[in-house]
C-alpha cells in the first residue's frame, strides 16, 4: 500500500494561467476527496467522488475549478484563470468507502500540492 500521492508538490504560476493537479488514491479506494487549506487555517472541503461520479461540490468551488476522476482511479483538479486568492495547499484524500457491505470512512491524505499565484 503506497499511500495517496499528489503531483506536483509545488506549483508557481502567474495570475491568469491555468493549472492542473493530479491525485492518485490508495489502490481500490472508492472515494476521493479534495480539500483546500490556506495559511493558518484548517482544510476546507471542495468536492468528492464515489468511483468516477462527482457527488458533491462545495460552494467554494467556483466555475473556474473543475475536477474529474475518469475510470474511478486518479483524479485531476484544474483551476482556470488563476487568481492570487487561489494560492493555497490543495489536499487530496481517499477512503475505501463501501466495499462488500462494510463501510470504511477513514480518510487518508496525500502530501498536498502547494500553489502560489504571483
Partner 1 sequence: AQSVTQLGSHVSVSEGALVLLRCNYSSSVPPYLFWYVQYPNQGLQLLLKYTSAATLVKGINGFEAEFKKSETSFHLTKPSAHMSDAAEYFCAVSNTVGDYKLSFGAGTTVTVRA
Residues lying near partner 1 in the complex (CB under 8 A) are found at 4, 6, 31, 33, 35, 40-45, 48, 55-56, 91, 93, 95, 105-112, 114
Residue 115 C-beta: closest distance to partner 1, Å: 13
Task: Tell me whether residue 56 or residue 83 sits nearer to partner 1 (CB atom).
Answer: 56
Task: Tell me whether residue 41 or residue 99 sits nearer to partner 1 (CB atom).
Answer: 41
Long-range contacts of 10-15 (CB under 8 A, 24+ apart): 10/113, 10/114, 10/116, 11/113, 11/114, 11/115, 11/116, 12/115, 12/116, 12/118, 13/82, 13/115, 13/116, 13/117, 13/118, 14/82, 14/117, 14/118, 15/82, 15/83, 15/84, 15/117, 15/118
Q: What number of CA atoms fall less than 13 Å from residue 86's CA on the CB side?
A: 27
Residue 81 C-beta: closest distance to partner 1, Å: 27
Task: Tell me whether residue 18 or residue 27 sits nearer to partner 1 (CB atom).
Answer: 27
Residue 69 C-beta: closest distance to partner 1, Å: 15
Enter the DSSP assignment of 9: S
Task: Tell me whether residue 55 or residue 118 sits nearer to partner 1 (CB atom).
Answer: 55
Residue 49 C-beta: closest distance to partner 1, Å: 11
Amino acid at each position: 500500500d503506497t499511500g495517496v500521492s499528489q503531483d506536483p508538490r509545488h506549483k508557481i504560476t502567474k495570475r491568469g494561467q491555468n493549472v492542473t493537479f493530479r491525485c492518485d488514491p490508495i489502490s481500490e479506494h472508492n472515494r476521493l476527496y479534495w480539500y483546500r487549506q490556506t495559511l493558518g487555517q484548517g482544510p476546507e472541503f471542495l468536492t468528492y467522488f464515489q468511483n468516477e461520479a462527482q457527488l458533491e461540490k462545495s460552494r467554494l468551488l467556483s466555475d473556474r475549478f473543475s475536477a474529474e476522476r475518469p475510470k474511478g482511479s486518479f483524479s485531476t483538479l484544474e483551476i482556470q484563470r488563476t487568481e492570487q486568492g487561489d494560492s493555497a495547499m490543495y489536499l487530496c484524500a481517499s477512503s475505501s468507502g463501501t466495499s462488500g457491505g462494510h463501510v470504511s470512512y477513514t480518510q487518508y491524505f496525500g502530501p498536498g500540492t502547494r500553489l502560489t499565484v504571483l
